[in-house]
Structure 1
């Protein structure tokens, strides 16, 4: 499979917000309570717009990632595979793409945080070899070492 990315355009921000809301609403609601205005502000102000990328498999948009270089790590803020593309290897292919990106950026690891209640994501990251770096009240910080 050929995964590629495309930087999200400003005019597509509402689609980003709706994708994030669909994927994370239950987790955010359980921990903080969901507030549309707050979450839109957070997505716009806490993350540089160039960190957001649509994921494509050939010509089909299959998801969204938000990542950046942070010291020697590619930090994955967000990875969403749209529901209709889950369960058929797209997430694994997207991670292969991100590992390639990490190497291209001379990063020796990928780091991320996940809600502790997001059992499916945690099982996925565990299956890829991510290890737990630390636990917080509602989050697990994980990393994967990358061979350069």
Structure 2
């Protein structure tokens, strides 16, 4: 069973390694991968208070960052190590968050890189649709929810 715990400063190395393992391909297809730039950007933006670490049998396998506001539940980040993908964990995490958004009457939204086709397939399978397009990414939300003005 997948569990969550709050991230700490001690998780920095794991979370950067996860970022590199899970996102390098999509980032490289979008902007190119510059290791020094990625390390610097990650270091500047790293805030463990905004993340949880996903664990399986006590092993760190992923991360989740959710921003919940009065009218919206926004998934800022869901990432699972590639060797642990395909087990239904991302689906289960997202289904729980979707259920929470529905129970509280909030929009369920996220962004996805245009080059991350695997994530897009998952999100569409869960009922999300593209509601806005930016230069490098799509904004998606549950299809059954009204689009905000």
Structure 1 contact 27–118 (Cα < 8 Å) conserved: yes
The answer as to 2:67 corresponding to 1:78 is no
1:65 equivalent in structure 2: 64
Three-state SS of the structure 2 residue aligned to 1:33 is: coil
Structure 1 contact 102–110 (Cα < 8 Å) conserved: yes
Structure 1 contact 103–146 (Cα < 8 Å) conserved: no
2:22 equivalent in structure 1: 23
Change (3 A) 1:72 1:37: farther
Change (3 A) 1:37 1:110: farther
Deviates more, 1:126-135 or 1:68-77: 68-77
Q: Which residue of 113, 116, 119 corresponds with 2:114?
A: 116
Equivalent-residue separation in structure 2 for 1:65 and 1:25 (angstroms): 18
- Per-residue deviation, 1:3: 3.9
- Per-residue deviation, 1:123: 0.5
The answer as to 2:95 corresponding to 1:96 is yes
User: Which runs of no fewer than 5 residues in structure 1 stay unpaired?
Assistant: none
Three-state SS of the structure 1 residue aligned to 2:115 is: coil
1:142 equivalent in structure 2: 140
2:38 equivalent in structure 1: 39
Structure 2 contact 30–115 (Cα < 8 Å) conserved: no
- Per-residue deviation, 1:103: 6.2
**Count of residue pairs brought into register by the alignment:** 145
- Per-residue deviation, 1:146: 8.5
Three-state SS of the structure 2 residue aligned to 1:112 is: strand
